[in-house]
Amino acid sequence: MKIILLGYMASGKSTIGKLLAENSKMKFIDLDDFIEKKEKKTISFIFKEKGEVYFRLKEHEYLKELLNKKEDFILSLGGGTPCYAKNMDIVLANKNTVSIYLKSTIKTIVKRLEEDNSERPLITNLSKNDLVEFVSKHLFERSFFYEQANIKVDINNKSIKEIVEEIRVFL
Ligand code: S3P
């Protein structure tokens, strides 16, 4: 089985995916890391030098490459992956694949984005007020895609361990 983790930026997709993979003795792949390795460039560099459209094309291409593999793994998507190029339809149509939405409130996301120093090209230049506004609107638009996942897990006020245990019940 392929387990696909999705959700907004800073919802813990990679951290949860790694621990879930460890506990389930499965391979873990992070789509952003996979893109960076294949392209030999960081995501920030790709956004800056080639633009978001190029990034979305590559994201789509590498997602399909991974889903076409015979092997099983846990894959964490980028926050925007389900929302472009019919990627969510492709995930849902793929055999032996279960998709899990790590669902969080605007408040949790904003707090985490403020605490997390990872480079995120979409939000780097936003002030606190603008960030709240941006996340509110963006999450509203993206929820349409996220909500199509097979399983939804509320991650608010839960530890990584608790979330992983909750996910394992479904698998
Ligand atoms: C993006 C999220 C990022 C990365 C890129 C675009 C998005 O991944 O794919 O910066 O559109 O939400 P994370 O969700 O892992 O931060």
From residue 25, alpha-carbon distances to 20, 78, 95, 152 in Å are: 8, 23, 21, 22
The list of the chain residues with pLDDT below 50 reads: none
| CA dist., res. 80 & res. 72, Å (int) | 23
Q: What is the DSSP string of 6-17?
A: E-STTS-HHHHH
- Amino acid 87: pLDDT: 98
Residues with CB under 6 A from ligand 1: 9, 13, 32, 43, 78-80, 120-122
Looking at residue 72, its pLDDT comes to: 97
Question: 137 — alpha (psi -120 to 50), left (phi > 0) or beta?
Answer: alpha
Instruction: Report the pLDDT value the prediction gives residue 119, as an integer from 0 to 100.
Output: 86
Closest CA to 91 of 28, 26, 149: 149
User: Ligand 1 centroid vs 162 CA: distance in angstroms?
Assistant: 24
Say which CATH architecture domain 2-161 belongs to. 3-Layer(aba) Sandwich (3.40)
CB 73 within 8 A of CB 29: yes
- What is the position in ligand 1's atom list of the atom closest to the CA of 119? 10
pLDDT at 166: 97
**Claim: this prediction has a pTM higher than 0.85:** yes
Encode pLDDT of 70-119 as tens digits: 999 999 999 999 999 999 999 999 999 999 999 999 999 999 999 987 88
Per domain, the residue ranges of the chain are: 2-161
Do 17 and 30 touch, CB atoms closer than 8 A?
yes
Give the residue, out of 4, 9, 76, with the most ligand 1 atoms within 8 A of its beta carbon, to mutate for a pocket test.
9
8 alpha carbon – ligand 1 mean position (Å): 8
